Amino acid sequence: MNDAVVQKYGGSSVATAERIKAVAARVRARRATSPRLVVVVSAMGDTTDELIAMARTVCDEPSAREMDLLLSTGELVSCTLMAMALRHMGCEAVALTGAQAGIRTDALHSRARIVSVDPQRIVRELRRGRMVIVAGFQGITEDMDVTTLGRGGSDTTAVALAAALGARCCEIYTDVDGVFTADPRVVSNARKLDEISYEEMLELAQQGARVMHPRAVELGEMYQLPILVRSSFNDKPGTLIHGAVSVEYLNKVRGIAHDLDVAKISVVRVPDRPGVAFRLFAPLAQAGISVDTIVQNTGHDGNTDLSFTVSRNDFRRAVAIVEPAAREGGAEGLVTDEDLGKVSIVGTGIQHAPGYAARMFGALAEQGVNIEMITTSDIRITCVVRRGQIDKAVSALHATFELEKPEQLSAAPTTA
């Protein structure tokens, strides 16, 4: 069904009844040129945060299973209201839960991964001439338990459905005009990118750029499915995420990402011998806690210090798991810090051209920003710094790499 179009509308796009009606009018207009239309919606506005807060008033540590079931209701509200609005406008529409849409996941609550998509119900509804409105962010396990896909998971729902339906593109509608060189709320002269590669977008998303969910970008690259990020508040062209990026964008920093959701755990004076790292990290993996930056100091006197970062939401659970493991492994103790963030520069040019790290470190030093940890990939350099210095760091790096300027054609290579 390669004539199907899959759109996704984020929480800010459907935050109120008026916004839902505005999106419904937009969807109705699009149907004139795209009769097979699937729309994925997020929960209205801050609904997810409100449900989490409500759960905390009832129980300090609600079970993951019940929490997923609770949070899934936010998307059910928005998708049913959207279908009602469309029907009121004279359009045939049907609302489906993630389970009804055929989305099957693993059993890791709050951060489940999609294992399969069976779009038969969606295909039947499309062939009946109906628009299909799907509740994003959710799926169901083999045991029929409802799961959620993590913050921003509606992006992943949309891309997975587009891939399963054989759509030519997935359209992500949000409250910004596309993918920017930095968060425009932090850097006022941040520039919108016309296009960006899957690889660069994935690094930006993983390092804190919230315009796209990382797993959605991974799926887009896996199925070579272009993803168009646009605003639902205007008709500007947006940013295309795809595989082939023009040569004019090579050999330069494309964007700055930042993340305030960082906590550090340091295991102090742990015996420097084989198996220690496994003893510490295996229980974290079993608990579904993702570890980001890892730094181990050079051993001395038979001991070493090992530091790593996790999200602040996972911090307490991580400490509870690591502390006994560190004690059993002979470590002196733990030192923790929740007041951290990370800032990253991303671009394909970083892997081959020298000088990017030096310019980054120099820019941070000029602003008095101390670097606590460093990690790199082929196309990224990330520094962990104090949380209160993140905005200053992002602005300094954006200016240093002149990202506010339009991108120019790179000089062609010369031959002797």
3-state secondary structure 149-203: CCCCHHHHHHHHHHHHHCCCCEEEEECCCCCECCCCCCCCCCCECCEEEHHHHHH
How large is the average pLDDT for residues 3-32?
A: 95
Query: Rounded CA gap, 103 and 166, in Å?
Result: 15
How large is the average pLDDT for residues 186-204?
A: 94
CA nearest to 373, candidates 307, 325, 312, 302:
307
Give the confidence band of 411 by pLDDT, cuts at 50, 70, 90: very low
Give the confidence band of 109 by pLDDT, cuts at 50, 70, 90: very high
How large is the average pLDDT for residues 209-222?
A: 93
pLDDT at 80 over 90: yes
Higher pLDDT, 349 or 410: 349
What confidence score (pLDDT) does residue 249 get? 54
What confidence score (pLDDT) does residue 248 get? 52
pTM of the model: 0.89
What confidence score (pLDDT) does residue 416 get? 31
Q: What percent of the chain has pLDDT over 70?
A: 95
How large is the average pLDDT for residues 343-351?
A: 87
Give the confidence band of 154 by pLDDT, cuts at 50, 70, 90: very high
Residue corresponding to tokens 């040019």: 349
pLDDT at 392 over 70: yes
Give the confidence band of 210 by pLDDT, cuts at 50, 70, 90: confident
pLDDT at 257 over 50: yes
**Distances in whole angstroms, Cα of residue 194 to Cα of each of 92, 97, 179, 240, 340:** 34, 33, 8, 6, 32
How large is the average pLDDT for residues 162-170?
A: 95
Give the confidence band of 60 by pLDDT, cuts at 50, 70, 90: confident
Helix residue spans in 287-349 (DSSP H): 315-328
What's the mean per-residue pLDDT of the chain?
A: 92
Q: What percent of the chain has pLDDT over 90?
A: 78
Which 3 state secondary structure label does DSSP give 361? helix
pLDDT at 278 over 50: yes
